[in-house]
Structure 1
């Protein structure tokens, strides 16, 4: 199993800095739009990982961020992943033009649903939008199809 972070950076216009994953080969997120983040390095806390990954991918140093929840991904294709989910509204620096992972773009949150993304991402983006307190979300995929979702240990109606 692996530990990762994911951060949705939001600007005052209600836009998230999204990463269109188009640059890496054999990427399970290929052509999907996601937040920024990545895998923990040995000994890192979730906060240290999100700060490092955000800086590496975007060039931004987060100054105001919140730990919002943990998402457990179970799949019949990939190893189990524990994703530590963050949002951020403050940062310093300038956005990199040359992200190795894909293309960075500000997308208004009302337009996110129209973009290619994982079905489970739509669930946790809605939880973030509704300002749900810290949560645990379990998502089980069969291939790219979401087969099961549970919020705080209770199966969700979909």
Structure 2
């Protein structure tokens, strides 16, 4: 994966599009940003992107998940103007329960159209294609 983009270090992140039968997708509310998005976060230097995705989903939601298909990555500039690449995986829940925390105070399981209406970032919308036939 690219480590630099036009001379600037790339912020490496990963996350999960967690799904369950319905189909429904999990979206999270982050009080720090007052936004609705999918669970994700920055990778630690010593972990793979897959490990990062699983760790971040569990830290933010309390749900231990199973990796399924890799989805398309999103690329954008973060709030500090740094280039950021987020790798995404479709995931299913293995076990666990949500408990509100500092990073995520609410989750919702939504049908794709309801999730599309709630998501705060247009860049998240193509990830819903995994639920549409």
Q: Sort the TM-score into its range (normalised by shorter chain).
A: 0.7 to 0.9
Task: Describe the SS at the equivalent of 1:124.
Answer: helix
In structure 1, C-alpha distance between the alignment counterparts of 2:70 and 2:118, rounded to whole Å = 25
**Partner residue in 1 for 2:40:** 37
* Match among 15, 24, 33 for residue 15 of structure 1: 24
Task: Describe the SS at the equivalent of 1:69.
Answer: coil
Give the TM-score normalised by structure 2.
0.79
Question: C-alpha deviations, 1:118-157, integer Å up to 9, x for none?
Answer: 122223333x3457xxxxxxxxxxxxxxxxxxxxxxxxxx
Question: C-alpha deviations, 1:10-33, integer Å up to 9, x for none?
Answer: 1112111110122x2xxxxx2221
**Partner residue in 2 for 1:111:** 114
1:76, distance to aligned residue in structure 2 (A): 8.5
CA RMSD in angstroms comes to 2.1
- How many residues are matched? 123
1:80, distance to aligned residue in structure 2 (A): 0.6
Task: Describe the SS at the equivalent of 2:34.
Answer: coil
1:6, distance to aligned residue in structure 2 (A): 2.0
State how 1:9-158 maps to structure 2 within 5 Å: 9-22=18-31, 24=32, 30-74=33-77, 78-95=81-98, 97-102=99-104, 103-126=106-129, 128-130=130-132
| Residue 6 of structure 1 pairs with residue 15 of structure 2 | yes
**Partner residue in 2 for 1:154:** none
1:64, distance to aligned residue in structure 2 (A): 4.2
In structure 2, C-alpha distance between the alignment counterparts of 1:115 and 1:40, rounded to whole Å = 26
In structure 1, C-alpha distance between the alignment counterparts of 2:86 and 2:53, rounded to whole Å = 11
